[in-house]
Amino acid sequence: MYDANGTVSKATDDLLALADDVVRHTQAVAKYLRVNNYAQPTFAPDSISRSETPEYVKLHSSLKQSLDNLQYLVEGPKRHFRALYCQGYELAAIQVALDFNFFTIVLAEGQISLEELAKEAGVDIDRSSRIVRLLATEFIFREPTPGYVAHNLSQYLLHVDEEIRSTLHYTSSPTIDEMLQAASSTADNVRESPHSYDSALTPFVTRHGLPIFEYYAKDSQRSIRFAKAMAGWSKLNLNINALKDAFPWGNLKGTVVDVGGSSGKDSITLAQQFPALDFIVQDSADMHAAGQKLLTDDIRGRVSFMQHSFFDPQPVGDAAAFILGTLERSFERGFEHGLRQIDLIMLVGFGGKLRTEVEFGALLKQADKRFEFAALTPRVL
């Protein structure tokens, strides 16, 4: 079994020991859910929610680490690489399903024939069936009876949540969607500048010719989808409870500025919890157009939007606090894969990176030596 440094732990380097680990960690997860009155997960289409508490996240991490190591030990490197090589074709199948609305055509309840799905999507039955059956092996769709398709957990989530569907569309489509195209230009970008990079010299710029925010400023349709995708990304990755608990918001009075706050999901949630605070969400105009639709009557007067680039001087000087949303790079083995993926997303799109607590402190000092780094509370995946 690999530890956080990628070295083998002698105590769990055989199949049975790893299997025992899986059982032990599964029992711990089941016990936590039972004791805290959470529903046990099932394969029912509406069994989507999972606990987001730090305790559950840690239990999930331990179980996933053992499962990943057991799978790798059983598969061996050749089968592991075989699966890795073919991931692009699974993304291609997802692209077709998104572009031709498979996820919304399939009924929320019951099932639909593959023939009817193909007809409504405007795609031939042969390719429609092959796309659906590949995705079914990834827990997206299921074929309860031959020739008929229905929802499962993942498909149902994509059916009911447009923001998460937008996130998948934004990152997965290899022919029309910008981020995967940009990712495919990473090697070209490194060849262009093998020893340095910044926000103006990214794989995104190499592929599309413009930095990411300038690109969206010129394409309103993609910019709006980007705003929805960022809202969906927050649902998939970030635990808002960590932000609520990280700071004594109840002790503040005045205005909180959410820098680069996208459509304002965080500010809206905090405004609902802390009625003494007002919030200004700073981002692009298209992000704000998406955010306006999220406002409810109880907070509409306390959450406002300001078009602002964080590369420009900060126009709000009397704020009670500023939110600079981030993930700390603390690569525990159970979280490492997801964090490494985000680290590369930051590189490809923004010329950025995930930073450790020490690196954050150094960054603040670089901005202004008067900054004192008190603490960092990372938000968990």
Using an 8 Å Cβ cutoff, are 252 and 277 in contact? yes
pLDDT tens-digit series, residues 26-78: 999 999 999 999 989 888 767 777 887 878 888 998 999 999 999 999 999 99
The answer to whether residue 18 is domain-embedded is: yes
For 336-381, write each residue's pLDDT tens digit: 777 788 889 889 998 988 888 888 888 888 888 888 777 776 555 5
Residue 347 falls inside a structural domain: no
Per the CB < 8 A criterion, the answer to whether 25 and 48 are in contact is no
Among 160, 189, 210, the domain-final residue is 160
Report the number of distinct structural domains present in the chain: 3
73 and 117 fall within a common domain: no
- The answer to whether the beta carbons of residues 345 and 339 sit under 8 Å apart is no
pLDDT of residue 4: 47
For residue 4, is it within any domain? no
Whether residues 105 and 128 share a domain: the answer is: yes
Model confidence at 140, pLDDT cuts 50, 70, 90, reads confident
80 and 14 within one domain: yes
Same domain, 196 and 132: no
Residue 352 forms part of a structural domain: no
Question: Domain check: are 81 and 28 in the same one?
Answer: yes
Domain that holds residue 18: 10-85
* pLDDT-wise least confident of 168-172, 173-177, 231-235, 361-365: 173-177
Structural domain contains residue 50: yes
Sign for the CA dihedral angle at 266, 228, 286, 208 comes to: positive
- Specify the DSSP class assigned to residue 355: B
Residue 314 inside a domain? The answer is: no
- Asked if the structure places residue 360 within a domain, the reply is no
What percentage of the chain reaches a pLDDT higher than 70? 81
pLDDT, one tens digit per residue, over 82-119 is: 988 888 888 888 888 888 989 889 887 789 999 999 99
Q: Are 94 and 135 in contact (CB under 8 A)?
A: yes
Query: Which of 174, 208, 233 finishes a domain?
Result: 233
Same domain (yes/no): 69, 97: no
Q: How far apart are CA 375 and CA 378, in angstroms?
A: 10
Same domain, 98 and 56: no
Looking at 85, 102, 117, which one is the last position of a domain? Answer: 85
Orientation of helix 153-160 relative to helix 162-172, angle to 10°:
110
Q: 71 and 15 share a domain?
A: yes
User: How far out from the chain centre does Cα 205 lie?
Assistant: 22
Q: Which of 123, 117, 111, 137 is nearest to 45 (CA)?
A: 111
Phi, psi of 109 (to 5 degrees): -130, 150
Report if residue 211 sits inside a domain.
yes
Query: Do residues 190 and 224 both lie within one domain?
Result: yes
Element counts in the chain: helices (H) and strands (E) = 18, 6
| Mean pLDDT, the chain, whole residue set | 82
Are the beta carbons of 307 and 284 closer than 8 angstroms? Answer: yes
Looking at the structure, do residues 229 and 171 belong to the same domain, yes or no?
yes
